Amino acid sequence: MTDDRDEAKGPGPAEGERAEGAADEAAAPTAKALQALRRQLDGVDRRLLEALAERQEAVREVARIKGGGGSVVRDPGREEALLGRLVDLGRDIGLEPFFVTRVFREVLDHSLRLQHELLATRRDPSRAGKLLVVGFQGGEGAFSHLAAKRCFAARGEAVFQGFSAFRPMLEAVRDGKVDFALLPIENTTAGSINESYDLLAEMDLHLVGEEVQKVEHCLIGLEDVPLARIRRVYSHPVALAQCGAFLASLDHVHAEAFEDTALAVAKVKADQDLSQAAIASEEAARVHGLPILRRGVQDQRENYTRMVVVAREAESFDPRIPCKTSLVFATRHEKGALARGIALLAEHGLNLTKLESRPRPNTPWEYRFYLDFEGNLADPAVREGLDAFAAETSYLRVLGCYPSRTSDEAQPARPRRGRRITPAPSPVQGPARVAGLTFGEGPLLLAGPEQLGDVAATQAAARRARGSGADALWAGHLDPRERAGETDALAVLTSAAATAGLPLAVRCNHPADVARLAVRADLLVVDGQHMHDGALLREVGRVDCGVVLTRAPTATLDEWLEAAAQLRSYGNGRVVLLDAGVRLFDRLAPDLAALPEVHARAALPVLVDLGSSAPEGRAALARAAIAAGAAGVVLPTLEGLEALGDVIQ
């Protein structure tokens, strides 16, 4: 008779060994297959590196030929066409357009930096082969450290040294202990960094470059614990200020200033306290081996820091390289002296990009000014304009002339595919810029998912929109108060837009939502049914954010334009009109015939919504809308996006 308790004990030693042996035999083929695939991937990676090295050698030869003069250093049109061909080729072989664009943008950016460096070395052969020491403020993984590595990637080998503060870093440059230093000068959220300006005026140093670093703050903890367990958050004071809304949403959390973002992560690791966290970069978390509890915790999605490269000696650059020139100056104590000087720059065709004032030391109520303009001092015309400006000053020092990373010429190219439609003349005097979009230089495409999914699905939709030529992620038909799973809808959308590098347009139909949405989105979309809501127009008109005002299906042209005028009367001039269709028997149809009158009376950009048209007719409608003067079209779905992208782009 068998004892049930003995059976419950499981198989005997022999049976257990046989079971383990069978499991080992089953696992063996899987392990061998993984090893084979990993060897295959290693081989592919090596071929990728060899191809990049081959491409780099070709770039060097291109730079050598360009060094003889004549050819432009950068051809944006060729880059756009190249990216378009690569996107099409990638799609044919199963690669996502956004992935292809992102990879080759990095390749093209490095190639351009390499050409700039080779041309500079041609002018100054002593630059070649020198091991550089580059200073930055903070610890490894700080945003200044990331910018320094990218800035000097094309200059050969470099050693990076962190400093506790700006002054000792610049003193090290002055004393020859480091060759260059990255100095943050302004942030798109926090504004100008006054200490940096004061130090540049005090020290006899020179600006020889600039770098723009995107700042995405992450909450980093000792372990992956719930946010409710966090009691203290450390970071640099500026970083804490940039994440004020997120920190305010955490109960019982005390924010404490620290000397640097990356060093704050080091402190959390050293203290081994689960209730502590730091706000810093993703790279800082990787360096210290700590988990990220929440990404993108900054208040504004588009958060960038501009940094200047500081050296002991000035450098000159090839006249074909778009440059920026920085000055520190003082004017005579005469009425209109500053205005006359700035007018002289404009008369010489020099575009002013920055003007900052700081108190003059020991001279109450007098100021010195810092000014940036686009222009290369190797160009005699630029030098002539600077000489004319200098005649209006009592003191002037050129801080430096260096390749610009913020000018239009320095912006990354976008894929160009298909047949570009020739738009009607723009109603606006010159191109109008709203939320990072330029209305009037070419037709725009705004597209987005028909429904809100989870984070991964929405990010995939945003990447698809970007890869198909969309200029912005459109969520003007989705309710930002809804929830996608357990995640706030607005957080899902902002994360997706940031991942794809697209401006975000969201629906805003309640006055109480305006302030919250304006700091996370680039365009606030007012539905047609709310175009007469005076309280909503008042709140939207008071924020510094682009606004899309939709025409109601039953609204007259006069009512639509009156609503736009009311909105603008509150101070917001960044208004775009959206024709979502007027009632035509049993359907909606865009009122294209009214576009010339809209342009004549309002001089505002107009978008046309294609959502009410049949998919097979959208391409023809888009052509007609652009030909009639529309600044672009909106596609509130991804269906047929690729075909439409070919038409618009």
Q: Are residues 504 and 643 in the same domain?
A: yes
Is the domain of 563 the same as that of 443? yes
Domain span holding position 152: 130-212+303-315
Lowest mean pLDDT: which of 136-140, 331-335, 485-489, 559-563? 485-489
Average pLDDT (567-577) is: 91
Helical ranges in 391-486 per DSSP H: 455-467
pLDDT band at 645 (very low <50, low <70, confident <90, very high): low
Asked if residue 524 is part of any domain, the answer here is: yes
Question: Would the pLDDT of 482 be above 70?
Answer: no
Mean pLDDT (whole number) for 297-319: 90
* pLDDT at residue 422, rounded to an integer: 45
Residues 621 and 549 in one domain: yes
What pLDDT digit, counting tens, does each position of 153-206 carry? 888 789 999 999 999 999 999 999 999 999 999 998 888 999 999 999 999 999
User: In the prediction, which pLDDT does 603 show?
Assistant: 84
Same domain (yes/no): 236, 158: no
Q: Give domain status of residue 415, yes or no.
A: no
CATH number at residue 540: 3.20.20.70
Share of the chain above pLDDT 70, in %: 91
Cβ neighbours of residue 611 closer than 8 Å, sequence gap 6 or more = 477, 580, 634, 635, 636, 637
Radius of gyration of the chain (CA): 29
Where is average pLDDT lowest: 241-255, 428-442, 508-522, 605-619? 428-442
SS3 of residue 299 by DSSP: coil
Residue 243 pLDDT class (50, 70, 90 cuts):
very high
Task: Please name the residues in contact with 390: beta carbons below 8 A apart, sequence gap of 6 or more.
Answer: 329, 396
Q: Verify that 222 and 207 share a domain, yes or no.
A: no
Both 238 and 267 in a single domain? yes
Work out the burial of residue 354: count CB atoms within 10 Å of its CB; fewer than 13 is exposed, 13-18 middle, 19 or more buried. Answer: middle
Residue type, 88: D
**In this structure, is residue 626 part of a structural domain?**
yes
Residue in 182, 86, 157, 137 with CA at minimum distance from that of residue 413: 86
Same domain, 243 and 201: no
Tokens for 128, please give them.
């070649």
Query: 256 with 146, same domain?
Result: no
Q: Residue 366: pLDDT band by 50, 70, 90 thresholds? A: confident
Which residue would you say has higher pLDDT here, 80 or 54?
54
pLDDT digits (tens, 9 = 90+) for 3-19: 444 444 444 555 555 55
Average pLDDT value for the chain: 86
Mean pLDDT, range 250-279, rounded to an integer = 95
- Residue from 243, 216, 212, 62 nearest 148 by CA: 212
Cα separation, 435 vs 473, in Å, equals 12
SS (H, E, C) 540-572: HHCCCCEEEEECCCCCCHHHHHHHHHHHHHCCC
CB distance 208 to 400 below 8 Å: yes
Least confident of 40-49, 152-161, 227-236, 545-554: 152-161
pLDDT, residue 431, reads: 53
Distance CA 300, CA 510 (A): 21
Across the range 366-391, mean pLDDT stands at 93
- Whether residue 492 is predicted with pLDDT greater than 80 in this model: the reply is yes
Number of domains the chain contains = 3
* 75 within domain boundaries: no
Q: Could you read off the pLDDT of 319-356 as tens digits, one per residue?
A: 888 999 999 999 887 888 899 999 999 999 999 999 99
pLDDT higher for 235 or 467?
A: 235
Cα gap 512→518, rounded to integer Å: 11
In this structure, is residue 252 part of a structural domain?
yes
Mean pLDDT of 402-410: 87
CATH code where residue 151 lies: 3.40.190.10
- pLDDT at residue 144 tops 80: yes
The verdict on residue 566 lying in a domain is yes
Domain boundary among the residues 315, 349, 380 is at 315
pLDDT of residue 428: 46
Greater confidence, 627 or 206?
206
Q: What is the pLDDT of residue 191?
A: 86
End residue of a domain, out of 264, 294, 324:
294
C-alpha angle with apex 20: 15 to 25, nearest 5 degrees? 125
Kindly list the distances between the CA atom of residue 110 and the CA atoms of 68, 72, 103, in Å, as whole numbers in the listed order: 21, 17, 11
- Considering 101-115, 367-381, 587-601, the range whose residues carry the highest mean pLDDT is 367-381
Rounded-to-integer distance, Cα 541 and Cα 446, Å: 22
- Predicted confidence at residue 587, as pLDDT, reads 73
**Residue 166 sits in the same domain as residue 290:** no
Q: Which of 237-246, 262-271, 434-443, 638-647 is modeled with the greatest confidence?
A: 262-271
What local confidence, expressed as pLDDT, does residue 420 receive? Answer: 44
The whole-number average pLDDT for the span 420-444 is 63
Mean pLDDT for 383-392 is 94
Whether 605 is covered by a domain: the verdict is yes
Q: Percent of the chain at pLDDT above 90? A: 50
Shared domain check, 544 and 448: yes
pLDDT of residue 430: 47
The mean-pLDDT minimum among 63-67, 90-94, 540-544, 643-647 falls in 643-647
Q: Residue 429: is its pLDDT beyond 50?
A: no
Helix (H, G, I), strand (E, B) or coil at 121: helix
Residue 338 corresponds to which amino acid?
Answer: L
Q: What is the mean pLDDT of residues 399-427?
A: 70
pLDDT at residue 240, as a whole number: 94
Say if residue 567 is in the same domain as residue 487. yes
Mean predicted confidence (pLDDT) in 555-576:
91
User: What pLDDT, on the 0 to 100 scale, is given for residue 6?
Assistant: 46
CB 216, CB 282: distance < 8 Å: yes
Asked if residue 329 belongs to a domain, the reply is: no
Same structural domain for residues 178 and 135? yes
626-648 mean pLDDT = 81
pTM of the predicted protein model: 0.74
Rounded to an integer, the average pLDDT of 391-416 is 87
What pLDDT does 2 receive? Answer: 45
